[in-house]
Chains A and B, each alone.
Chain A
Amino acid sequence: MARTMPAVDVVFVGVGFTAAIIARELKDASVRMVGLERGRARDTVPDFQSPAMHDELGYAVRHGLMQDVARETVTVRNRPDEVALPMRQLGSFLPGTDLGGAGVHWNGQTFRFQESDFVLRSHHEQRYGRGAVPEELSIRDWGITYADLEPHYDRFEYLLGVCGYAGNVQGNIRPGGNVFEAPRSRDYPNPPTRPAYLGAIFAKAAMDLGYSPFQVPSANLTRGYTNPEGVRLEPCMVCGYCERFGCEHFAKSSPQTTLWPVLRQQQNFELRTGAHVLKVNLTADRRRATGVTYIDVATGEEVEQPAELVVLSAFAFHNARLMLLSGIGTPYDPRTGQGNVGRNYCYQTMSSVSLFFDEDVNLNQFMGAGALGTVIDDYAGDNFDHTGLGFVGGAYIAAYTTGARPIEFHPVPPGTPRWGATWKQAVARHYNHTGGLQCHGQSNATRTNYVDLDPTYRDAYGQPLLRITFDFPQNDLRMSHYVTERAVEIARRMGARQIVANPRTAPWSVVPYQTTHNTGGAIMGTDPRETAVNRFGQSWDTPNVFVTGSTLFPQNATYNPTDTVGALAYWTAAAIRDRYLRSAGPLVPT
């Protein structure tokens, strides 16, 4: 029978960025907190030291830092009338694992969302008319505004030490930064990266076409930095082993490098690793959580952790799954349109353009860093007039130099045989003279893209896997096609000998890696019947449960989610600290 731990005030399920932020924000509150992490503890020293960390096979190909899908995976299908099957090996996305989660192995590309992203439906209807949003899309407003989040974006960016040059400081537009961005209260805490060769070529071509390139805001630090928590980060050495790897130099912002040194000493916070949470326990009427039940991984025992407040702070869709497994809210059913947990699952709409240069152009893409890139925002979101185009949304176009590790990167022009002598010679010829432009695009919600519990397949603990039903809406394919063509135009001015467009096509496949930007499922909003949480991330149905992460996004914007995930964590932390702990209960009347 389950053993019961002493009760705490706050229990976190999953200890990555969002749990670390909220726990730190509650450092002066009279609460006892425990963070339950199902994985292991790990830290820069000794776990991320090179040369062992610079093992492409072990970490990038065999996914050494990622979730082990042998124990738990997801099932996938494109449409509700198909049978979902397990994602038997990692591919399209790479959830993290262990302490720090995906915040350890991410690239560090740190973009805010636009003002319009938070009021996406009403913005489009105002600008383009009521019929502007295609019928297939179920995009919606968030219930919060960019202005609500701005101070919290600022907090998160200063926590990380993001490196960039602001294009809009309190309305003052500054060329050289992102002139399209929403206004920020102040500049970034650290100077931007210096362009790599590919980025510099791209910038010139983009400027010739009248666009406004800027350096990608980077959480690979450009200089030593002590963040407001007193934690010190170091400059990135540009080693080319960033995404999928931990950083040996304390130079990539992660929970370990930004918060853990102070959090581990915080008196009112206890980390418990090897604690795999099965579910949130609820009262019979499901209006209140009493705590969680977890498996002690070391012993296999079932343990009950009573708590006054439960924070679901696992990766993205894991939080939606926990809600479904626990009976929080009502599962969404696309046939009826009813239910508030599971809807509006979205992803990221990616495409690219490959550029094959002459042999005298040494791109040296292996001298890379995760967020080392030059980007234009001219075709992101609604930054351009969509009148008559027949789609909503956009993508940023970036020339990244994140590394060029050979198992994953050995480009050859189309028509090259896939193996043999000719292939081999082509690999040698093109490896150091090939780069790409990435179109990183918005992912809009539809009524049939959602998550629920799979009826057939289970995890190692016997619990149903999460089932993901997703395909790219036609709208998003049209958007991607359009922006890819704009990228080709820029590519043509970059001096390459050959350009190859790689547009996004349907159906979404789980096989090739795209991004780990899985969003939605426990979305935020103003309607308790249709959304899982209110504007503070508080469950409508079970008010002493708060939810964090990209699962809150009603749809995914053009940009990488992490900056917005961090900002929302600070926003939720403030709501818990300043309002909920003073007077527990729904923060938004239902």
Chain B
Amino acid sequence: MDNGYLTTKGRIFDIQRYSIHDGYGIRTIVFLKGCFLHCRWCCNPESQRHDIETMIVQGKEKVIGRDVTVAEVMEIVEKDRDYYRRSGGGMTLSGGEILFQPDFALALLRAAKERGITTAVESTACAKWEVIEPLLPYLDQYLMDIKHMNSGKHRQFTGISNERILENARRIAQSGQTELSIRVPTIPTFNATPEEIAQIAEFADSLPGVKRIHLLPYHRLGSDKYEGLGRNYEMGDIPVPDLATMELLKKTAEEHSHLECVLGG
């Protein structure tokens, strides 16, 4: 067998073990660096640039980003194999945007599957279909962000329009090769209204095979990172949505679709 892909290099900024709030079971999340989007609310601003950079964390400089091989990543991912087996968990690739480094992402997914470890990605699917399609045979779950149905507003808040994202969502769903779950970062001033959530729910409902939609409430946990990177936090003082609002949006999503709506990951 060709093991060349194990030496494929990529750039990550973190690996988190024992993640239990995103996807099935106990997971190890590999965070790939670099993103096509620049969402204003992004809680991992250090993930956006592909360049290695320095962030001030608790008063100390910390280098964000390192280049690693697939083999090096797998060495860590494999350490929790027992936990995946017992919990139904596995490896999740997140970002940034994993499609920013498609060869690396593909090699990681392939390595995991060849070792019997289940896989998931968190991605917006904003890449050419030719880039996405090869990943699907190695992917058990696609956790896909759909942030807004209005392309103009999407561009205004994330830096790019949404046509390709919506089209890819449909193609991924139609491929039948992976379980697709739709996730909506629910951001006041952007999409946290019943109308806007209803539109997304209706769209998600139209995708074959999709069973669940997740509403991820906006939080401010990443705001100090902007300071650490010397950047401006454009969300300002916008408060996080309260539980009543989230419950209302959940109800809205359920009324406008046949999907199960879950608050949080």
Whether chains A and B associate is: no
